[in-house]
């Protein structure tokens, strides 16, 4: 884990909530932190249709 001094991307407390139908909120992400430092490679992986490109 980086101390943040060499970070090129920092995201803190990321949340994504969407309407799951019938007024039910679905929390896809909650309280996610991410720090990416120079020379790191980051990939978001998962099966087709799992929401990797959800906006």
Q: In the structure, what pLDDT confidence band is assigned to residue 24 with cuts at 50, 70 and 90?
A: very high
Q: Which two tokens stand for residue 32?
A: 């996610």
The alpha-carbon radius of gyration of the chain (Å, integer) is 14
Neighbours of 20 (CB within 10 A): 11
Q: What is the model's pLDDT at position 52?
A: 79
Q: Give the mean pLDDT of the chain.
A: 87
Does residue 51 register a pLDDT over 80? no
Q: In the structure, what pLDDT confidence band is assigned to residue 4 with cuts at 50, 70 and 90?
A: low
Q: In the structure, what pLDDT confidence band is assigned to residue 37 with cuts at 50, 70 and 90?
A: very high
């Amino acid at each position: 884990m980086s101390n943040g001094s060499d970070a090129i991307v920092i995201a803190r407390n990321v949340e994504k909530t969407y309407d799951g139908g019938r007024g039910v909120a679905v929390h896809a992400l909650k309280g996610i932190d991410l720090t990416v430092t120079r020379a790191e490679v980051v990939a978001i992986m998962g099966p087709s249709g799992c929401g990797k490109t959800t906006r």
